[in-house]
Amino acid sequence: MVDPIADMLNRLVNAQAVKAETVEVPFSQLKYIIAKVLERKGYVKNVDFKGKRIRKIMEISLKYESGVSRITGVKRISKPGQRIYKAAKELKKVQNGRGIAVISTSKGLMTDQEARREHAGGEVLCEVW
| pLDDT per residue as tens digits for the range 70-106 | 999 999 999 999 999 999 999 999 999 999 999 999 9
Stretch(es) of the chain classified as CATH 3.30.1490.10 = 74-128
pLDDT tens figures, 33-72? 999 999 999 999 999 989 888 889 999 999 999 989 999 9
pLDDT tens figures, 4-33? 999 999 999 999 999 999 999 999 999 999
What pLDDT sits at residue 2?
Answer: 87
Q: Are strands 100-105 and 74-76 parallel, antiparallel or unpaired?
A: unpaired
Handedness of CA 127, 61, 109, 5 (dihedral sign): negative
| pLDDT above 80 for 1 | no
- Classify domain 74-128 at the CATH topology level: Dna Ligase; domain 1 (3.30.1490)
- Classify domain 4-69 at the CATH topology level: Ribosomal Protein S8; Chain: A, domain 1 (3.30.1370)
3-class state of residue 42 by DSSP: coil
Stretch(es) of the chain classified as CATH 3.30.1370.30 = 4-69
Beta-ladder partners of 50: 57
